A and B are shown apart, each in its own frame.
Chain A
Amino acid sequence: MEEKTVLKLSSLSKKFEGRTAVDHISLEIAEGEIFGLLGPNGAGKSTTLNMICSLLKPTSGKIEVFGMDAAKDMRKIKLRIGYIPQDLAIHGNLKAWENVELFTSLYGIRGRELKSAIDDSLEFVGLLDRRNSYAKTFSGGMKRRLNIACAIGHKPDLMIFDEPTVGIDPQSRNFILERIKQANENGATVIYTSHYMEEVEAICTRIAIMDNGRIIATGTREELVKLVTDDDNANITLEEVFLTLTGKKLRDYAGGEV
């Protein structure tokens, strides 16, 4: 069966006041993949995701999503993307179901379909029994799950997770990872960024490593390991591969959109 390309980036660049955050990257992600995007702070991961989601305009290059040009068909593309931002984007003074209702309605879903989407989304993230609780009363992990529920109500074909497990307990992290795998099994293509190597190792079918705005390596875990050692029996973790490729020097990135 022929693999369909969900996302294609061609020589994509983004400059901020003379500083290059993303430097001519090209990438293809096929339907059904869980694609991991790794990189140290300031590598350009979030900038790349922000351009895909139209939060930022590229300086140059082309983005194609589901075969549509992002510069021309962004409205149609947006209907099929679910973006889970790194920062919690939920109203604390709204109840869980109201948050999901608000953000799902932005995609034109209403009536019974909206009600069903709210329940499905809350059930998917394990918050259906807390649907009437205010978001401000939730723990960090619950807020992260609600943050996800708010982005999946319209049943997107492409889900983009920008570090969705930052600052939460192992149980919540495990739950989220399981749900991402389930969403993928249900047919969604997933792009996932994280600093936690073991997460990426556990769920991603293919991984790209970014550094200084460029993609320095792409492949499956095994293919990446082969880049740093020829020993088939070597017990090398993804973190060791990452550090070998990007170096051990500290990356003190002073703010901004990268």
Chain B
Amino acid sequence: MYFTKMTKNNLKLMLRCRALVLIVICMVMVTGMLSAVFKDLLSDNFYIGDFTLGVSFGEDCVYAPAKSAIQAAFDHENTVVIDIPYGSGQKAIESKKADVVAEFNNQGCTVYSDGNHETEAGFVSVTASSIISKSSDARTYNHVNAYKIDVLPMPGSELYYTAAYTVFFVWVSMIALGAVMSSERKNKIGARFKTAPVSSFNIYLSRFIPSAIMIAALIFTGVAICTWLFDIEWLKIATTALLLILGCIAAAALATVLFSLIKNVILTIVFGYCLLVFWAFFGGSFCPYMQAPWADTLRNYSPIYYMTRSIVELNTSGSSEFTVPAIIVLCGISVVCIPLGMIAVKLGKED
């Protein structure tokens, strides 16, 4: 167990790097700033008021099986869903029988609304697009007449940005290992490791463990401050904490690979930053994922997307279908990066 003293001293090196405190400060400042600036955007644009939705389907419409899914999607206290005859959408709006109408035919969907229900009409359009997209998939795959509509719970701006930037800074905190690696490289500590009977596995652990501890310390400090400052109520605190801990472990595993594989510390930081920007861009850090028009295929490559969406939904509606994928993605990153990191450290030691 040679790594215990190495771990302890590497942790000290990180704790004594005062610049790392900036991570917590930036996290709180960015969250506070963005949640204040976009408070109206998130509340106004996504507030669904009371409305009546008229739904109709053309003759032999392939989307007709989605009727029950549509009703389920709008099934909350503000919405009444009614059937109207196909082709009478405009008339239903003018006669105030419905506030928004969605008319489906085999070419797609037409949405009608009066001037007072544009937000609701937008929401119906998004839902209709989802139905049409899923119907295309269903038609490709043997006419499966089951529909599941992707309904996005709407969080408050404080919760959204605290979750989004907590996740973002989990990955930013990978830089903590730089405090150890730059000192090791600058002071040529590698010579000591090579001349001592210490295994590359112990060296790996002495980098990975303090890195994970340090990232977790920074992130949970930031979350605690944000929770206190912005009065955030976490509905699922245990699952949220689990996701963050897994995120810290995955970030530490990735950091150890990058810092061990790339010999130049500055180059490692630049590479890590580029990767992070890509993940954050598609993951909902810079633009809320509810509004972002990015393709699903690109989102799927971003662990930030899974983490952010899961944490936001868990603490907005109490559950999220993204929790399990997020756990799988984070465990997957760790499972891949831990052995890769060990190999990288071994190669570095033998170099």
Name A's B-contacting residues (CB within 8 A): 53-55, 75, 78-79, 81, 83, 85, 87-94, 98, 101-103, 105-108, 110, 114, 150-151
Contact = CB atoms under 8 A, between A and B. Distances in A.
B2 A105 contact: yes
A89 B5 contact: no
B196 A78 contact: yes
Given A102-B6, A106-B2, A91 B194 contact: no
Interface stretch (B8-16, B254-262, B291-299): B8-16
Contacts of A93: 12-13, 16-17, 179, 183
A106 B184 CA distance: 15
Nearest to B203: A106
Contacts of B17: 93
16 contacts: A53-B195, A78-B196, A87-B191, A88-B188, A91-B13, A91-B183, A91-B184, A94-B9, A98-B9, A102-B9, A105-B5, A106-B2, A106-B192, A106-B197, A106-B198, A107-B196
Nearest to A110: B5
B187 A85 contact: no
Contact of B5 (A79, A83, A102): A102
Interface residues of B, number: 23
Interface string B181-213: 001100111011111111000000000000000
A78 B197 contact: yes
A133 to B, nearest CB: 14
B72 to A, nearest CB: 59
A106 B196 contact: yes
Top 9 nearest A-B pairs by Cβ distance?
A105-B5, A106-B196, A78-B197, A83-B195, A102-B9, A53-B195, A106-B198, A87-B188, A75-B197
A151 B194 CA distance: 13
B348 to A, nearest CB: 13
Contacts of A91: 9, 13, 183-184, 187, 189
Nearest to B13: A93
A77 to B, nearest CB: 9
A114 to B, nearest CB: 8
A83 B195 CA distance: 7
Contacts of A92: 183, 187
B6 A105 contact: yes
A84 B4 CA distance: 23
B195 A78 contact: yes
- Among the interface residues A55, A102, A107, A108, which one has the most CB atoms of the partner chain B within 10 A? A102
A92 B186 CA distance: 10
Contacts of B184: 91
Contact of B194 (A53, A102, A110): A53
Given A91-B9, A94-B12, A102-B6, A85 B197 contact: no
Contacts of B179: 93
Contact of A108 (B9, B187, B188, B197): B197
Contacts of B6: 102, 105-106
Contact of B192 (A75, A79, A150): A150
